[in-house]
Chains A and B, each alone.
Chain A
């Protein structure tokens, strides 16, 4: 990994997802968690998938690593990471992909770190397995990584057990572990959500710096507009298993086109006047077992029309790098938010 690799138009994408669909089947019902998602990420680019609970953002991320329970899950579509067809990989290549090319960090590091080993041992073990390093070499590298993620007194912390570390340090240790094999793609599933505000911003700044320095492509899943605005290059807004809007972060925040994005921004509490109600989106997201026909945001949309009940809106591009899925896109009337 060298230098700062900035996204350029002609660079081949690191990740390409085409028409990804994920369904969970159980005895009682079939849950359509992801319904035809397509996006791509260039090397060194940060894509934030923004969505509320049940929007399918975490499922999309897990599908990319094939971390979903195989038996109950049906995945269709194409996932290509650095030229590899992830859905077609055999078990060995998949392990190589997970340990080398792609790394993942989670909201709760305690679930990703093994409580009975010190964090140092876990990183050393990973390095020895995937990189065939000697024990001494691996330890030296682990120490480097701990310094990279700015863990104070790293030598001592390497020999700590996960439960002995504070929340912020644990998250840093997990990031160090994720970086240990020099991934080209980092998948981050709400890694700062469980942290306190003053710690959250530290970890965000750290991730931003590391991503830039190591030139990693990053997919960052969050429900928090504020977090997205701190770290994203591009934002993909997900609702009920679909990406409804996508584009550069500044454009989306300044000029949201989809009624859901507009509603989400209006309902995010951020310096609103105290005497007025917040403009909330009425209702709650649809039941993924019984999706409404047509546009899934239709039942909550202030500008809903009869045609919204018939089909999901097609893709339209208001500008070269933006995508919106709304019938009203390009028409005169704008949502009343």
Chain B
């Protein structure tokens, strides 16, 4: 911890489980939303998050990528307990969240904070930004003056002069400045982990780069752990240590960033990577890697959810759902695909080839 940090800000909570203990383990998280079905009185379920497991180690950045409707934002809100878990288990620094002998939801929220995509709507339009930043410490029992002091320091840390910007209202700030305020707000209660839900997606490229640099610097100086959710593979590749690829509410691939980008296992990950522009007009993409749109998360395909768009789909993909395999370790690179499951029955499965 830097000296500056401790001087004014709230004291960060202690590391309880030690360095080897993942900061967060999510096991089989499930959340379905009921929606009105086609017929009268019929109900269907959006399987927003459907059995997601991952571990997040201390000090690392886990990038979560996927297309719209893959459940990545729902996942963020589940981790924050902003929406109720359907089933599954969250273990924060070795202790069950909400369990009788574990960590309470309130304690969790003291340690995990979130930055949202829409920088404008995540700030109270009728509050000077200084007060928005001071709100967190105030809620956690700091006096008004103390909270304001923390807010001043945090605004400075995200590159906004507190005297100049503190008294301003959100509408007087540019998108990038607002997102800096949101980052300051999240950091004001000294969390150990920050969820960044498409936090740079709405920003212009030149501003996005500034905010990414800022996030990297803050991660270093505050010793933060990030869950970085984005649809932009380039950004995820740049900022993440490990990457989790989601498709229709499930994890399809998980592994260290270099492994994922240099030798993707899952056909969906390959398609995602293949859809990136090479930025070279002489070397344009001539054929789309996959066709069609992602199906609706209401009534997803049986078996492997990607099979409707997968070039290698076979009968086994329709019958059984592939498993992710050993996901708990830091360096495991796993994919939920029958082709990578020996003896799955797929003709291209590793054992058969």
Residue of B nearest to A265 (CB): B279
Within 8 Å CB of A270, what residues of B?
234, 279
Asked whether, in the complex, the Cβ of A197 is within 8 Å of the Cβ of B216, the reply is no
Asked whether, in the complex, the Cβ of B285 is within 8 Å of the Cβ of A53, the reply is no
CB-defined interface of A274-307 with B at 8 Å, one 1/0 digit per residue?
1001111110110000000000000000000000
Asked whether, in the complex, the Cβ of B285 is within 8 Å of the Cβ of A232, the reply is no
CB-defined interface of B273-299 with A at 8 Å, one 1/0 digit per residue?
001111111101111111111101000
Within 8 Å CB of A229, what residues of B?
277-281, 284
Residue of A nearest to B277 (CB): A226
Asked whether, in the complex, the Cβ of A52 is within 8 Å of the Cβ of B206, the reply is yes
| Shortest distance between the CB of A125 and any CB in chain B (Å) | 26
Contact of B279 among A53, A152, A226, A274 (CB under 8 A): A226
Asked whether, in the complex, the Cβ of B281 is within 8 Å of the Cβ of A197, the reply is no
Stretch at the interface among A34-42, A73-81, A138-146, A161-169: A161-169
Given the complex of chains A and B, what is the CA–CA distance between A167 and B295 in angstroms? 11
Asked whether, in the complex, the Cβ of B279 is within 8 Å of the Cβ of A196, the reply is no
Residue B191 interfacial (CB < 8 Å): no
Contact of B207 among A167, A200, A284 (CB under 8 A): A284
Contact status of A227 and B277, CB under 8 A, knowing A53-B175, A197-B231, A278-B238: yes
Asked whether, in the complex, the Cβ of A205 is within 8 Å of the Cβ of B287, the reply is yes
Residue of B nearest to A199 (CB): B293
Contact of B291 among A202, A223, A263, A269 (CB under 8 A): A202
Asked whether, in the complex, the Cβ of A269 is within 8 Å of the Cβ of B174, the reply is no
Within 8 Å CB of A267, what residues of B?
205-206, 208-210
Residue B235 interfacial (CB < 8 Å): yes
Residue A201 interfacial (CB < 8 Å): yes
Asked whether, in the complex, the Cβ of B285 is within 8 Å of the Cβ of A250, the reply is no
Asked whether, in the complex, the Cβ of A280 is within 8 Å of the Cβ of B209, the reply is yes
Contact status of A198 and B67, CB under 8 A, knowing A52-B205, A250-B281, A278-B213: yes
Within 8 Å CB of B237, what residues of A?
269, 271, 274
| Shortest distance between the CB of B171 and any CB in chain A (Å) | 13
Residue B176 interfacial (CB < 8 Å): yes
Residue A230 interfacial (CB < 8 Å): yes
Contact status of A230 and B284, CB under 8 A, knowing A201-B275, A253-B279, A271-B234: yes
Given the complex of chains A and B, what is the CA–CA distance between A52 and B210 in angstroms? 15
Residue of A nearest to B282 (CB): A250
Residue A225 interfacial (CB < 8 Å): yes
Residue A264 interfacial (CB < 8 Å): yes
Contact of A196 among B67, B205, B278 (CB under 8 A): B67
Given the complex of chains A and B, what is the CA–CA distance between A199 and B275 in angstroms? 8
Asked whether, in the complex, the Cβ of B234 is within 8 Å of the Cβ of A198, the reply is no
Within 8 Å CB of B296, what residues of A?
166
Query: Which has the most chain B C-beta neighbours within 10 Å: A167, A272, A282, A284?
Result: A284
Residue B232 interfacial (CB < 8 Å): yes
Residue B233 interfacial (CB < 8 Å): yes
Q: How many interface residues does chain A have, given as a range?
A: 35 or more
| Shortest distance between the CB of A7 and any CB in chain B (Å) | 15
Given the complex of chains A and B, what is the CA–CA distance between A285 and B174 in angstroms? 9
| Shortest distance between the CB of B262 and any CB in chain A (Å) | 12
Given the complex of chains A and B, what is the CA–CA distance between A224 and B235 in angstroms? 13
| Shortest distance between the CB of B131 and any CB in chain A (Å) | 23
Residue A177 interfacial (CB < 8 Å): no
| Shortest distance between the CB of B54 and any CB in chain A (Å) | 20
Given the complex of chains A and B, what is the CA–CA distance between A162 and B290 in angstroms? 23
Given the complex of chains A and B, what is the CA–CA distance between A212 and B231 in angstroms? 30
Residue A105 interfacial (CB < 8 Å): no
Asked whether, in the complex, the Cβ of A282 is within 8 Å of the Cβ of B210, the reply is yes
Residue A174 interfacial (CB < 8 Å): no
Given the complex of chains A and B, what is the CA–CA distance between A100 and B296 in angstroms? 36
Contact status of A281 and B277, CB under 8 A, knowing A201-B285, A201-B289: no
| Shortest distance between the CB of B288 and any CB in chain A (Å) | 4
Within 8 Å CB of A266, what residues of B?
209
Within 8 Å CB of B212, what residues of A?
269, 278, 280
| Shortest distance between the CB of A156 and any CB in chain B (Å) | 15
Given the complex of chains A and B, what is the CA–CA distance between A285 and B210 in angstroms? 13
Residue A238 interfacial (CB < 8 Å): no
Given the complex of chains A and B, what is the CA–CA distance between A52 and B207 in angstroms? 10
Residue B44 interfacial (CB < 8 Å): no
Asked whether, in the complex, the Cβ of A269 is within 8 Å of the Cβ of B238, the reply is yes
| Shortest distance between the CB of A151 and any CB in chain B (Å) | 11
Asked whether, in the complex, the Cβ of A197 is within 8 Å of the Cβ of B209, the reply is no
Within 8 Å CB of A224, what residues of B?
205
The B207-256 residues at the A interface (CB cut-off 8 A) are: 207-210, 212-213, 216, 231-235, 237-239
Asked whether, in the complex, the Cβ of B293 is within 8 Å of the Cβ of A196, the reply is yes
Within 8 Å CB of B175, what residues of A?
53, 284
Within 8 Å CB of B276, what residues of A?
197, 226
Residue B108 interfacial (CB < 8 Å): no
| Shortest distance between the CB of B246 and any CB in chain A (Å) | 12
Given the complex of chains A and B, what is the CA–CA distance between A268 and B176 in angstroms? 15
Asked whether, in the complex, the Cβ of B284 is within 8 Å of the Cβ of A269, the reply is no
Asked whether, in the complex, the Cβ of B275 is within 8 Å of the Cβ of A198, the reply is yes
Residue of A nearest to B290 (CB): A198
Residue of B nearest to A269 (CB): B234
A–B pairs, 10, beta carbons within 8 Å: A166-B296, A167-B68, A198-B290, A204-B285, A229-B280, A229-B281, A249-B281, A269-B232, A270-B279, A280-B213
Further 6 A-B residue pairs, CB within 8 A, beyond A253-B281, A267-B209: A152-B292, A166-B293, A197-B272, A201-B289, A229-B278, A267-B205
